Amino acid sequence: MSATLFGQSVLSGIFAGSLYALMGLGMSLSWRYLRVINIAHFGLVFLAAYMTYEFAGVRGYSALAVALLLIPLFFVLGVIQQVLILRFNVNEFSSLIVTYGLAIIAEAVIQLIWSADFVRYENRALHGNVEVGTLLLPVADILLVVIAVGLCVATWAAMRFTWLGKALRAGLDNPAIAAAFGVPNQRLLLLVSGFSAALASVAGVFVALLYTLAPSQILSWLGVVFAAVLLGGLGNPLGLLAAGMLIGVSEAITMAITAPSWAPVVPFTILILLLVLWPQRV
């Protein structure tokens, strides 16, 4: 294997890992702070991707403007979802089933509006590469890495250093005592849910930029992102980023040095090893 092939494969893994982290960030936060295993997160990601295709690809609006519109819209959707979850008192285990159902509904709605056929948003503005020696870095993927790393670091910092993060952690540890100190637990939960859904919309914009879309792909991301979320630690944005990169790069190197068909085995092998060797991590 040449150095170029190796380097290009590692880069490809970093790009893929960034998307895993971006897709998993909202899911990780809602699992940790809301105790909701939110499979519907993938439905929101694809709904945002299709809306990006529709408004930026078909109707010709700027992708940036569409993204800026989707973020508050999806924030509201996330809040509504959490209100319903609280209203019907859905517990952590039940949330897996309930949100899986919501993901299936999202798939049906997308299929109804955009058909089951493939659609592609061709964005020529982000087409092209940056050359670094013999390596090529696609512009769209660079942007993805910047956004994914930026959001993971910013979320980590917010959770660690701001009153909001401390209040969330306090509410998680002991809601009654946190409330006694003026922490508005319920509102914070709605905020986390809205923020998670807003993150789904950002991930959706990148899915639309980088992939051809079909409604049936919604749950195809579940396994690998689930593995990244568990590997990274629930509610740990930096851990998630590292786990996403680890999985992405491991898959890519596997594809470069051996039969690519072995690549899907990688994330789950890593996850099983972690569960066996370091069970308290998950």
Partner 1 sequence: MRGRDIVGATRRFMLAAGLATSAALAATAFQAQAQAPSGPPIRIGSTLALTGPLAQTGAIHKIVGDLFVAQLNARGGLLGRPVEWVLLDDQSKPDITRTLYERLITVDKVDLIIGPYATAGILSAMAVAQRYNKVLVHSTFGIPKMAAYDRQFPAWPLGIDPEKTMPNDLLDALASIGKTPKSIAIVTSKFPSVQFVAVGAREVAKARGVKEALYLEFEFGTRDFGPIAARVREADPDLLFVGAIGLEGNQLLEALDKLNYKPRNHFYVYPTPGPLATSPLGNDAMATTAFENLPPLNKNPEAAAFAKAFTEAATKAGLPYTEPETQAGASWSMWEILTGAIKATKSLDDKVLADHIKKNGSDTVLGHISFDGQNNYGKNLMRTKQVQQGKWVIIWPKDMITPGYTVQGK
List interacting residues with partner 1 (CB under 8 A): 2, 4-5, 8-9, 11-13, 15-16, 107-108, 111, 114-120, 122, 129, 136, 138, 141, 211-212, 214-217, 220-221, 248, 251-253, 255-256, 259-261, 263-264
* 114 vs 156 by CB, closer to partner 1: 114
* 69 vs 136 by CB, closer to partner 1: 136
| Nearest-angstrom CA–CA distance, 15 and 270 | 19
Residue type, 163: W
The minimum distance between CB 83 and partner 1, in angstroms, equals 29
Would you say 98 and 35 are in contact if contact means Cβ atoms under 8 Å apart?
no
* 69 vs 119 by CB, closer to partner 1: 119
* 119 vs 147 by CB, closer to partner 1: 119
| Nearest-angstrom CA–CA distance, 26 and 235 | 9
* 162 vs 216 by CB, closer to partner 1: 216
The minimum distance between CB 51 and partner 1, in angstroms, equals 16
The minimum distance between CB 252 and partner 1, in angstroms, equals 5
The minimum distance between CB 94 and partner 1, in angstroms, equals 23
* 100 vs 114 by CB, closer to partner 1: 114
* 49 vs 192 by CB, closer to partner 1: 49
The minimum distance between CB 260 and partner 1, in angstroms, equals 4
Biggest CA pair distance of the chain: 62
| Nearest-angstrom CA–CA distance, 243 and 250 | 10
Residue type, 17: G
**Token pair for 233:** 């630690």
Q: What are phi and psi of 138, to 5 degrees?
A: -65, 140
The minimum distance between CB 134 and partner 1, in angstroms, equals 10
Of 238, 223, 210, whose CA–CA distance to 140 is shortest?
A: 210
Burial label, 13 (beta-carbon count in 10 A; 0-12, 13-18, 19+): buried
Would you say 159 and 171 are in contact if contact means Cβ atoms under 8 Å apart?
no
Give CA angle at 75 (69, 76), nearest 5°: 100
Q: What stretches of 28-108 adopt beta strand conformation (E)?
A: none
The minimum distance between CB 110 and partner 1, in angstroms, equals 11
